[in-house]
């Protein structure tokens, strides 16, 4: 039986409502029979190809499925069965016959497709490869479900029925269809949060200073375009608006309800609102999962209630939500949010307020703000889906403390980042979880490495401070992304130019000299004492006219991608005129970003925005950091997406090794022979070796493999160099025998491989992010150097190339201090095979290949340590 089939799964339908899918139990017999009884005659005929008697025998075959011979799911809404799907394994055990039924009142909402998605995933776990369905030609809706799902279906008309056959293994086309359905459904489910026509605040007290009352007053103060209703125990008016004792009393339909009550009263208030038809809830109240076990249980009960009614929830324990398109400020922030281009989500309400204050001071405005709090339901992933198609949102900012579905985040963010920049700051980072790590790879990995890899691969710009976050947003909201990393510094102060040059280098930017043509033009435009190198120093006498002459010359240089103008006020120089000159130059910059550091006590002049929006920073370091982040985005946008290549691997053989090891122990290191079989199944090249049970066998093995030889401990999982368990360059039989006697049999014997850079390659299963692949300098100093790079599996061909060519490992591969260049293609193939292994086999908890020798012709792993463990079961609470 499937290990997860018993877990209820919530799915979002195309109209934005949610539906719970679960296996039907014996206790559901009456509910399933009632479902069949409610079907129209036509629906019953199309499902059963006739009119069977309604009785226990009709429902028994679908109850308590064993998920081996048969499987079944029901769709429940408010405890009522509204859909059923089941499969029965056929004589060809790789195939199963499948059938679906949806309540007439709920047809054409996408329920059949969602059932098919889930049922196919569970059937695949049972070893089924193909679904077969017998459909009457008149059942157009069911035929459309099979056609549109994304599977490669084949139809054949026989005996008055249409037989539909299709393989259920996910393909790229199928995944694209699922992602498209998710996108439509999630956006529909979030519309009442961002575009509500009516809002009720439950807990809106007439008393000044109460959170609910002030939140309601904020809605009124922002001039919300819809209707707002205060709800409190006595039905008292708030701020002159008629009050109600419950949402049910409100004469109009309420689309969004905001709840601000003590935690123990929230479930009852939520249920009343949901029963009155509300499908979007924002729960401000604290006292849930953030407070401990009791609060966690209260939060789970609240979420169960929300999903049972097909609704969505923001919070609990949050600041609220704001949407400038309808002038909604349903937060208890001290003032309304200015309209602008940014969609902002914060997991911390207080930090969100601080960032909003800083952003407003920098002239940034919002399209929407969502404080997701405990994110029991609506998460950053959902919000990315909304902002992707929101025409007003041009930049997305996220403050994150945790991830619920990192792979979903990566998929959505990668798609969105191609169109709009995503800036993220991640809090709550720690390396505590790596302190007990056993392998080099696991010791180098950690939550920070996983987050960095996730953001890098998804095209998310990660910032480390609030100031940097706002600075990058300020730049990207005003200027284009640079086409490269070549920057020119134009300054009226030489010392400032030097500081800026250092900051640019630290930010990964380049300062090339101007072209010969540009230098000649600059020499004519500047005083003879000035410098036409880079930084371009116009001297302290430079005024607006100087900037007006020099900036166009620099911007016209094809070898320059961006310009930072640096200005320190001097006596007699009009700051406003300087700002206007910079702004005019930026307007004619032909797609090159212009930014400045205006070091004036009065701040940046308004004239910097007179023609073009030129962002100004208090210091050159901030400008350089922001431009460096923008250049990272440019690099990512220019980088092709890459593909995950097909590889010739023997997954079944590898799974057999893992199963053999786990049968012996639920968590342990593979023996050398097992590790070799596992790696060879994925085509990973290893140095030949023999296991020797005695010194005599060690000598014989060394002679067979060739001298000089290596003798090392065969103890599973041991760090051989740290325990004295390895002896190198053994030139003769006597040395081999002595080494075997000292280390203690059994030992491993290998030929000594000389030459080649020592690298580390490995993988570790992160409990949240999944398989993380590492690559970097290897050998005994791997952890001390600490320069491994990480990517989340599965890697594309370009991901693997970046790992091999990047960082210090890339310098070793390219040839370092006279060593010949290594075989890059072989190393890329090696990393891709390692990624495939880690992605295919979640039971491989740690895999450490150190060293891997990078040779001029190929590469080979010298030592392998593999730990396997049963992966923890992850609760699949939702599919979006």
Give the C-alpha separation, 570 to 492, whole Å. Answer: 9
Task: Confirm if 797 and 776 have CB atoms less than 8 A apart.
Answer: no
Provide CATH code, domain 189-401.
Answer: 3.40.50.720
| Contact indicator for 40, 107 with CB cutoff of 8 Å | no
Residue ranges of the chain that CATH labels 3.40.50.720: 189-401
Give the number of other Cβ atoms within 10 Å of residue 194's Cβ. 24
Query: For residues 820 and 384, what is the distance between their CA atoms, to the nearest angstrom?
Result: 47
Q: Which pLDDT belongs to residue 430?
A: 53
Using DSSP, state whether 566 is helix, strand or coil: strand
User: Across the strands, what pairs with 470?
Assistant: none
The two tokens of residue 707 are 């001298």
Q: Provide the 10 A C-beta neighbour count for residue 595.
A: 27
Determine phi and psi for 18, rounding to 5 degrees: -110, 155
- DSSP secondary-structure letter at 241? B
The vertex-712 CA angle with 709 and 716, nearest 5°, equals 145
* C-alpha span between 109 and 103 (Å, rounded): 11
Q: In 567-647, which residue ranges form alpha helices assigned H by DSSP?
A: 575-587, 620-638
Contact 737, 703 (CB under 8 A): no
- Give me the pLDDT at residue 264, please: 96
* Closest alpha carbon to 521 in 496, 484, 552, 491: 552
Q: Give me the CATH code for the 474-638 domain, please.
A: 3.40.50.261
Residues 6+ apart with CB under 8 A from 197: 226, 227, 253, 255
Do residues 340 and 470 make contact, with C-beta atoms less than 8 angstroms apart? no
Q: Residue 359: which residues within 8 A CB-CB, separation 6 or more?
A: 342, 344, 365, 366, 470, 473
Q: What are phi and psi of 869, to 5 degrees?
A: -155, 150
| pLDDT in the model for residue 784 | 47
Residues of the chain with CATH 3.40.50.261: 474-638
Distance CA 104, CA 40 (A): 7
| 3-class DSSP string for 678-704 | HHHHCCCCECCCEEECCHHHHHHHHHH
CB 278 within 8 Å of CB 311: yes
- Whether the CB-CB separation of 22 and 83 falls below 8 Å is answered with no
Q: Are 105 and 15 in contact (CB under 8 A)?
A: no
SS3 562: strand
What whole-number distance in Å separates Cα of residue 807 and Cα of residue 817? 16
Task: Output the pLDDT for position 395.
Answer: 98
3 state SS of 100: strand
Name the residue with tokens 């134009």: 490
Structure tokens at 305: 């209630």
Planar angle of CA 392, 396, 401, nearest 5 degrees? 145
Angle between helices 544-556 and 575-587 (to 10 degrees): 20
Alpha carbons within 13 angstroms on the beta-carbon side of residue 339 total 8
330 near 282, Cβ under 8 Å?
yes
3-state DSSP call for residue 729? strand
Separation CA 543–CA 521 (nearest Å): 18
Closest C-alpha to 462, from 535, 523, 397: 397
Phi, psi dihedrals of residue 342, rounded to the nearest 5°: -105, 130
Q: Name the nearest CA neighbour of 780 among 764, 762, 761, 760.
A: 760
Q: At what angle do helices 807-814 and 797-805 cross, to 10 degrees?
A: 80
Residue 14 DSSP label: T
Q: Which of 658, 633, 345 is nearest to 508 (CA)?
A: 633
pLDDT along the chain (880 residues), means of 10: 66 95 95 95 90 85 95 92 97 96 95 96 94 93 91 90 94 94 97 98 96 96 97 97 98 98 97 97 97 95 94 97 97 86 93 85 92 96 98 96 89 96 83 42 63 94 94 96 98 96 98 97 95 96 96 98 96 94 95 95 88 92 98 96 93 96 92 96 96 95 94 80 82 94 94 91 91 89 67 95 92 84 97 97 95 95 95 52
Residues 855, 859, 863, 866: is their CA dihedral positive or negative? positive
Is omega for the bond preceding 532 within 30 degrees of 0, making it cis? no
Rg (CA), the chain: 32
Identify the CATH class of 9-169. Answer: alpha beta
Nearest-angstrom CA–CA distance, 121 and 116: 9
Where in the sequence of the chain do the CATH 3.40.630.30 domains occur?
9-169
Close Cβ partners of 558 (under 8 Å, ≥ 6 residues apart)? 515
Q: Is 476 helix (H, G, I), strand (E, B) or coil?
A: helix
CA–CA separation, 267 vs 619, rounded Å? 51
Let me know how long the chain is: 880
Closest CA to 345 of 375, 316, 302: 375
In whole angstroms, how far apart are CA 109 and each of 37, 102, 206, 250? 21, 10, 42, 28
DSSP state of 869: E
| Backbone phi, psi, residue 523, to 5° | -60, -35
Farthest CA pair distance, the chain: 102
First-last CA distance in the chain: 24
The residue among 320, 280, 308 whose CA lies nearest residue 188 is 280
Q: Residue 837 pairs with which residues in a beta bridge?
A: none
Record the tokens describing residue 562, joined without a space. 């961006």
The pLDDT of residue 578 is: 96
User: Alpha carbon 797 to chain centroid distance?
Assistant: 19
What is the distance, to the nearest Å, from the Cα of residue 594 to the centroid of all Cα atoms in its chain? 31
């Amino acid at each position: 039986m499937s290990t997860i089939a018993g877990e209820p799964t919530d799915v979002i339908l195309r109209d934005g409502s949610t539906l719970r899918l679960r296996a039907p139990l014996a206790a559901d017999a009456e509910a399933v029979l009632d479902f069949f009884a409610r079907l129209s005659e036509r629906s019953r005929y199309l499902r059963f190809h006739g009119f069977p008697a309604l009785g226990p025998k009709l429902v028994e075959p679908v109850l308590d499925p064993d998920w081996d011979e048969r499987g079944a799911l029901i769709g429940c809404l408010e405890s009522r069965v509204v859909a059923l799907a089941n499969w029965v394994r056929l004589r060809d055990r790789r195939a199963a016959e499948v059938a679906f039924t949806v309540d007439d009142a709920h047809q054409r909402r996408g329920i059949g497709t969602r059932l098919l998605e889930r049922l196919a995933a569970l059937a695949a776990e049972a070893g089924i490869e193909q679904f077969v369905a017998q459909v009457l030609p008149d059942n157009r809706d069911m035929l459309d479900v099979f056609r549109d799902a994304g599977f490669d279906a084949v139809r054949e008309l026989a005996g008055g029925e249409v037989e539909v056959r299709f393989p259920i293994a996910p393909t790229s086309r199928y995944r694209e269809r699922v992602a498209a359905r998710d996108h439509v459904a999630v956006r529909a489910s979030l519309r009442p949060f961002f575009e509500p026509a009516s809002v009720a605040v439950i807990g809106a007290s007439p008393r000044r200073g109460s959170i609910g009352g002030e939140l309601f007053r904020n809605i009124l103060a922002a001039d919300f375009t819809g209707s707002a209703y205060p709800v409190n125990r006595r039905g008292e008016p708030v701020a002159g608006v008629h009050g109600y004792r419950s949402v049910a009393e409100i004469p109009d339909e309420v689309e969004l309800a905001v709840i601000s009550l003590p935690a123990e009263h929230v479930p009852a208030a939520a249920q009343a609102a949901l029963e009155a038809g509300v499908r979007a809830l924002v729960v401000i109240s604290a006292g849930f999962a953030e407070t401990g076990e009791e609060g966690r249980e209260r939060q789970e009960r609240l979420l169960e209630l929300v999903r049972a009614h097909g609704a969505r929830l923001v919070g609990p324990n949050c600041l609220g939500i704001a949407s400038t398109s309808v002038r909604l400020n349903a937060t208890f922030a001290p003032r309304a949010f200015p309209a602008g281009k940014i969609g902002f989500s914060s997991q911390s309400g207080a930090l969100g307020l601080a960032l909003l204050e800083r952003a407003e001071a920098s002239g940034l405005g919002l399209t929407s703000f969502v404080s997701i709090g405990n994110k029991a339901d609506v998460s950053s992933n959902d919000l990315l889906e909304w902002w992707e198609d929101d025409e007003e949102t041009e930049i997305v900012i996220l403050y994150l403390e945790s991830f619920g579905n990192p792979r979903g985040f990566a998929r959505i963010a990668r798609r969105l980042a191609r169109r709009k920049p995503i800036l993220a700051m991640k809090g709550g980072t720690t390396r505590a979880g790596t302190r007990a790590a056993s392998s080099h790879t696991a010791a180098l990995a950690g939550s920070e490495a996983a987050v960095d890899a996730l953001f890098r691969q998804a095209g998310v710009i990660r910032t480390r401070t609030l100031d940097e976050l706002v600075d990058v947003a300020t730049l990207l909201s005003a200027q284009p992304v640079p086409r490269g990393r070549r920057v020119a510094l134009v300054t009226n102060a030489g010392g400032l130019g030097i500081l800026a040059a250092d900051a640019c280098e630290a930010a990964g930017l380049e300062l090339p000299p101007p072209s010969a043509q540009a230098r000649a033009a600059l020499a004519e435009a500047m005083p003879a004492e000035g410098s036409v190198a880079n930084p371009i120093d116009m001297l302290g006498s430079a005024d607006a006219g100087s900037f007006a002459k020099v900036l166009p010359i620099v911007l016209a240089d094809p070898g320059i991608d961006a310009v930072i103008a640096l200005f320190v006020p001097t006596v007699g120089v009009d700051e406003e005129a300087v700002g206007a000159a910079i702004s005019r130059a930026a307007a004619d910059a032909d797609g090159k970003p212009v930014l400045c550091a205006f070091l004036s006590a009065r701040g940046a002049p308004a004239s910097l925005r007179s023609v073009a929006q030129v962002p100004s920073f208090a210091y050159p370091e901030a400008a350089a950091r922001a431009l460096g982040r923008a250049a990272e985005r440019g690099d990512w946008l220019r980088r092709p997406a890459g593909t995950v290549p097909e590889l010739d691997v023997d997954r079944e053989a590898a799974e057999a090794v893992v199963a053999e090891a786990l049968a012996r122990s639920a968590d342990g290191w593979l023996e050398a022979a097992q590790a070799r079989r596992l790696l060879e199944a994925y085509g990973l090249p290893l140095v030949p070796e023999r296991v020797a049970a005695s010194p005599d066998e060690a000598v014989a093995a060394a002679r067979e493999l060739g001298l000089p030889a290596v003798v090392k401990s065969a103890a599973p999982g041991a760090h051989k160099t740290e325990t004295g368990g390895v002896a190198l360059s053994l030139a003769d039989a006597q040395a081999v025998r002595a080494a075997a006697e000292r280390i203690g049999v059994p030992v491993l014997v290998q030929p000594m491989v000389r030459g080649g850079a020592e690298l580390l390659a490995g993988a570790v299963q992160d409990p949240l992010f999944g398989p993380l692949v590492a690559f970097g300098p290897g050998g005994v100093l791997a952890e001390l150097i600490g320069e491994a790079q990480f990517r989340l599996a599965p890697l594309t061909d370009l991901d693997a190339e970046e790992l091999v060519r990047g960082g210090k490992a890339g310098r070793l591969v390219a040839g370092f201090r006279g060593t010949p260049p290594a075989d890059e293609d072989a190393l890329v193939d090696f990393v891709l095979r390692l990624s495939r292994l880690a992605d295919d086999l979640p039971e491989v908890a740690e895999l450490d290949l150190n060293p891997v020798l990078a040779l001029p012709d190929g590469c080979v792993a010298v030592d392998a340590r593999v730990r396997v463990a049963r992966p923890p079961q992850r609760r699949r609470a939702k599919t979006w």
